[in-house]
Chain A
Amino acid sequence: MENQGYNYAIVRSFVTWSVIWGLVAVLVGVIVSFQMVAPDLNFAPYFTFGRLRPIHTNAGIYGWAVGVIFATFFFMVQRLCRVPLWSDKLARFQLWFFNITIIASAVTLLLGYTTSKEYHEMEWPIDVMIIILWVAFAINIIMTIMKRKEEQMYISLWFMMASIIGVAILFVVNSAAMPVSLFKSYSAYAGTNDANVHWWFGHNAVAMALTAPPLAMFYYFLPKSTGVPIYSHRLSIVAFWSLIFMYLWTGAHHLLWTPVPDWIQTLAMGFSVMLIAPSWGSVFNGYLSMNGQWHQMRENYLVKYLILGITFYGLQTLQGPMQAIRTFSAFIHYTDWVPAHIHMGTMGWVSMIAFASLYYLVPRIYGREVYSIPLANLQFWLILVGQLIWSISLWVAGVLQAGMWNAMNADGSLTYTFMETMVEMYPYWWARAFGGLIYMAGLIIFIYNLYMTVNKGKPTAAQTAAAVGRA
Chain B
Amino acid sequence: MDWSSILYLAVTIGLFVIFVLIVIHTYSKKRKRKGEIAKYRMLDDD
Contacts and interface: CB of A to CB of B under 8 A. Distances in A.
A451 B15 CA distance: 49
Contacts of B43: 223-224, 227-229
Interface in A201-242: 220, 223-224, 227-230, 232-234, 237-238, 241-242
B38 A153 contact: yes
A154 B38 contact: yes
A155 interface: yes
Contacts of A241: 19, 22-23, 26
B30 interface: no
Summarize B's interface: helix, strand, loop or mixed. Answer: helix
Place the interface of chain A in its size category. Answer: 20 to 34
Interface residues of B, number: 18
A242 B35 contact: no
A156 B32 CA distance: 19
A80 interface: yes
Contacts, number: 57
Contacts of B32: 234
B37 interface: yes
B42 A80 contact: yes
B46 A234 contact: no
Contacts of A233: 35-39
Contacts of B35: 233-234, 237
Interface string B18-46: 01001100110000101111111111001
A154 B46 contact: no
Given A82-B46, A224-B43, A241-B19, A234 B38 contact: no
Nearest to A80: B42
A79 B38 CA distance: 13
Nearest to A234: B35
B19 A232 contact: no
A154 B39 contact: yes
B2 to A, nearest CB: 15
23 contacts: A4-B46, A82-B46, A150-B38, A152-B37, A153-B38, A154-B42, A155-B38, A156-B42, A223-B43, A224-B42, A229-B39, A229-B42, A229-B43, A230-B39, A233-B37, A234-B36, A237-B22, A238-B23, A238-B26, A238-B27, A241-B19, A242-B19, A245-B19
Interface of A: 4, 79-80, 82, 150, 152-156, 220, 223-224, 227-230, 232-234, 237-238, 241-242, 245
Interface of B: 15, 19, 22-23, 26-27, 32, 34-43, 46
